[in-house]
Structure 1
Amino acid sequence: MFKAFMYLFTGNFLSKLLGLVREFLLAWAFGVTSTAAALRIAQAGVFIPINFLTQDLLSAGCLPVFNKYRKVSDQLALSYFISLFFFVMLIGVFLVITIYPIAEIWVRLLASGFSNETMLISVRLLKVFIVSIPFIIGTSALGYLAMAFGSYLIQSVRPSFINLGIISGVLISYIEKDIYYLAITFTISQVCLFCLCVLYIFSRNWFLIRFPTYKQLLVFAARLWKTMKPLVLLPIFLQGYIIIERNVASQFNESTVAALDIARFVSDTSMALIAVPLGFLVLANISSSDKTRSEYILDKLHMVILFLLLPFSSLIVVKADFLVSLLFEYGVFDANGTYLTSSILQIYGVSIFIHALNYQLLKLNNAFRQNRAFSFSTSLGLFFGAIFLLGVNTSIGLSVFGWAYLINGVTVYFLLIYQFKYFFVGIVVFIFSLAILYLSSVLSGFLPSQTLLNNLVSSFAVLLFSSVFSGLLLFLGRYRSIFLSFYKTQVHGKWK
Structure 2
Amino acid sequence: MLRSFLQLFSGSLAGKLAGVLREVLLAATFGTSGMVASLRAAQSATLVPVNFFTADSLSAGFLPLYTRYRETDAHRAGALFWWIAGLLLAASVVTVALLLAGAPYWIGVLVPGFGASERALTIEFVEIMGLGVPFYIAGGLFSYLEMGHGVYTLASARATLQSAGMIAGTLAAFALNRPSLLAWGFTVAYVIYAAWGCARIVRQNWVPLPSGLRREDVRSVAREFWHIVKPLVLVPILLQGNIVAERAVASLLGVGTSAALDYAKLISDTGILLFAVPLGLAGLSTISKMSDAEAYATLSRLMPPLLLATVPFSTGLAVNSHWVIAIIYQRGQFDATSTHLTQIILWGYAVGFWAQVASYVLVKALSAKLRNGEVFRFMAVALLSNTLINFSLYRVLGPSVLGVGGCAYGVVLLVLSARALDVWPVVVGRLAWLALGSVGYALSSLAVVGQGGLGMMEAALWFAAYWIAFITAVPVLRGDVRSIFARWRTAT
Q: TM-score range by the shorter chain?
A: over 0.9
C-alpha deviation, 1:476, in angstroms: 4.3
Give the match for residue 275 of structure 1.
276
1:213 aligns with 2:214: yes
Give the match for residue 90 of structure 2.
90
C-alpha deviation, 1:428, in angstroms: 2.3
TM-score by length of 2: 0.94
Give the match for residue 416 of structure 1.
417
Percentage of pairs with the same residue? 29
Which amino acid in the other structure matches residue 41 of structure 1? A
SS at match of 2:131: helix
Q: Which moved more, 1:287-296 or 1:339-348?
A: 287-296
Give the match for residue 309 of structure 1.
310
C-alpha deviation, 1:360, in angstroms: 1.0
C-alpha deviation, 1:394, in angstroms: 2.3
Give the match for residue 484 of structure 1.
none
Instruction: Tell me the alpha carbon deviations over residues 260-305 of structure 1, each in whole angstroms, 9 at most, x when there is no partner.
Output: 1111110011332111111111112122222221111111110111
1:58 aligns with 2:58: yes
Q: Matches of 2:469 and 2:201 in 1, distance apart?
A: 45
TM-score by length of 1: 0.93
Q: Which moved more, 1:7-16 or 1:463-472?
A: 463-472
Alpha-carbon contact 2:303-2:427 (below 8 Å) kept: no
Give the match for residue 352 of structure 1.
353
Instruction: Tell me the alpha carbon deviations over residues 43-68 of structure 1, each in whole angstroms, 9 at most, x when there is no partner.
Output: 11112112222100101111111122
Alpha-carbon contact 1:347-1:399 (below 8 Å) kept: yes
Q: Quick one: structure 1 residues 460 and 104, their matched pair in 2 at CA, closer, same or farther if it must change by over 3 Å? A: farther
1:183 aligns with 2:183: yes
Q: Which moved more, 1:433-442 or 1:57-66?
A: 433-442
Give the match for residue 433 of structure 1.
434
C-alpha deviation, 1:198, in angstroms: 0.6
Alpha-carbon contact 1:312-1:463 (below 8 Å) kept: no
Q: Quick one: structure 1 residues 48 and 40, their matched pair in 2 at CA, closer, same or farther if it must change by over 3 Å? A: same
Gaps of 5+ in 1: 481-496
Give the match for residue 106 of structure 2.
106
Q: Matches of 2:333 and 2:184 in 1, distance apart?
A: 23
Give the match for residue 343 of structure 1.
344
Give the match for residue 290 of structure 1.
291
Q: Quick one: structure 1 residues 234 and 467, their matched pair in 2 at CA, closer, same or farther if it must change by over 3 Å? A: farther
C-alpha deviation, 1:479, in angstroms: 11
Q: Matches of 2:16 and 2:481 in 1, distance apart?
A: 32
Cα RMSD after superposing both structures: 1.7
1:202 aligns with 2:202: yes
Alpha-carbon contact 1:15-1:160 (below 8 Å) kept: yes
Q: Quick one: structure 1 residues 83 and 408, their matched pair in 2 at CA, closer, same or farther if it must change by over 3 Å? A: same
Moved over 6 A (4+): none
Alpha-carbon contact 2:381-2:412 (below 8 Å) kept: yes
Q: Matches of 1:464 and 1:203 in 2, distance apart?
A: 52
Give the match for residue 475 of structure 1.
478
Q: Matches of 1:436 and 1:206 in 2, distance apart?
A: 50
Which amino acid in the other structure matches residue 387 of structure 2? A
Gaps of 5+ in 2: 484-492
Alpha-carbon contact 2:300-2:426 (below 8 Å) kept: no
SS at match of 1:53: coil
Alpha-carbon contact 1:111-1:246 (below 8 Å) kept: yes
C-alpha deviation, 1:468, in angstroms: 4.8
SS at match of 1:62: helix
C-alpha deviation, 1:449, in angstroms: 2.8
1:141 aligns with 2:141: yes
Alpha-carbon contact 1:319-1:459 (below 8 Å) kept: no
Instruction: Tell me the alpha carbon deviations over residues 100-153 of structure 1, each in whole angstroms, 9 at most, x when there is no partner.
Output: 111011111111000011100000011000111111111111111111111110
Instruction: Tell me the alpha carbon deviations over residues 414-466 of structure 1, each in whole angstroms, 9 at most, x when there is no partner.
Output: 11122112333432233333223222211210112322211222133224423
Q: Quick one: structure 1 residues 171 and 467, their matched pair in 2 at CA, closer, same or farther if it must change by over 3 Å? A: farther
Instruction: Tell me the alpha carbon deviations over residues 133-177 of structure 1, each in whole angstroms, 9 at most, x when there is no partner.
Output: 111111111111111111110111111111111001001111110
Q: Quick one: structure 1 residues 261 and 153, their matched pair in 2 at CA, closer, same or farther if it must change by over 3 Å? A: same
C-alpha deviation, 1:397, in angstroms: 1.9
Give the match for residue 28 of structure 1.
28
Alpha-carbon contact 2:349-2:403 (below 8 Å) kept: yes
Give the match for residue 68 of structure 2.
68
Give the match for residue 489 of structure 1.
none
Q: Matches of 1:11 and 1:374 in 2, distance apart?
A: 27
C-alpha deviation, 1:312, in angstroms: 2.0
Alpha-carbon contact 2:296-2:423 (below 8 Å) kept: no
Give the match for residue 153 of structure 2.
153
Which amino acid in the other structure matches residue 242 of structure 1? I
Which amino acid in the other structure matches residue 107 of structure 1? I
Alpha-carbon contact 1:46-1:129 (below 8 Å) kept: yes
Instruction: Tell me the alpha carbon deviations over residues 60-82 of structure 1, each in whole angstroms, 9 at most, x when there is no partner.
Output: 11111112222321122122112
Q: Matches of 1:27 and 1:115 in 2, distance apart?
A: 21
C-alpha deviation, 1:250, in angstroms: 0.8
Which amino acid in the other structure matches residue 370 of structure 1? R
1:381 aligns with 2:382: yes
Give the match for residue 254 of structure 1.
255
Which amino acid in the other structure matches residue 237 of structure 1? L
Instruction: Tell me the alpha carbon deviations over residues 337-386 of structure 1, each in whole angstroms, 9 at most, x when there is no partner.
Output: 10000011012111111111101111111111100001110111001111
Aligned length: 480
Alpha-carbon contact 2:326-2:339 (below 8 Å) kept: yes
Q: Matches of 1:478 and 1:27 in 2, distance apart?
A: 39
Q: Quick one: structure 1 residues 217 and 343, their matched pair in 2 at CA, closer, same or farther if it must change by over 3 Å? A: same
Q: Quick one: structure 1 residues 67 and 225, their matched pair in 2 at CA, closer, same or farther if it must change by over 3 Å? A: same
Give the match for residue 49 of structure 2.
49
Q: Matches of 1:468 and 1:353 in 2, distance apart?
A: 20
1:450 aligns with 2:451: yes
